[in-house]
Structure 1
Amino acid sequence: MLSTVLIVILILMLLGALPTWGYSSGWGYGPGGIVGTILVIVVVLALLGRI
């Protein structure tokens, strides 16, 4: 249950950090890449049963 909620929150953060939105157009791809990396790590840990 906790891993599902965490994955959903990270996906929403990833969508919010994409540079296609008006408020984040000056940020570049840095925040999206960081959140995407964290999302991949959490998904791998969830699949391994560590979370």
Structure 2
Amino acid sequence: MKDFTWKLFSHTGNIDTYLLFKELEKDNQDIPENQDEELAELDFPIS
């Protein structure tokens, strides 16, 4: 999805498309950290 919005922005120059791209980029950066924390808690549960 992120690649598609970047290509669309590249072709159109539409600022809304760019802002959507940046929002998707930010959301993708948040996901791995949360998954790592959840996996760590499963490996080492806090008593």
When normalised by structure 1's length, the TM-score is 0.51
Asked if residue 47 in structure 1 is aligned to residue 36 in structure 2, the reply is yes
Gaps of 5+ in 2: 40-47
* Aligned CA-pair RMSD: 2.0
Query: Identical aligned pairs, as a percentage?
Result: 6
Instruction: Report the structure number with the largest CA radius of gyration.
Output: 2
Runs (4 or more) in structure 1 with deviation over 2 Å come to none
Q: Which has the higher contact order (CA 8 A, sep 6+)?
A: 1
Structure with the larger helix share: 2
Preserved CA contact (<8 Å) 2:5 2:17: no
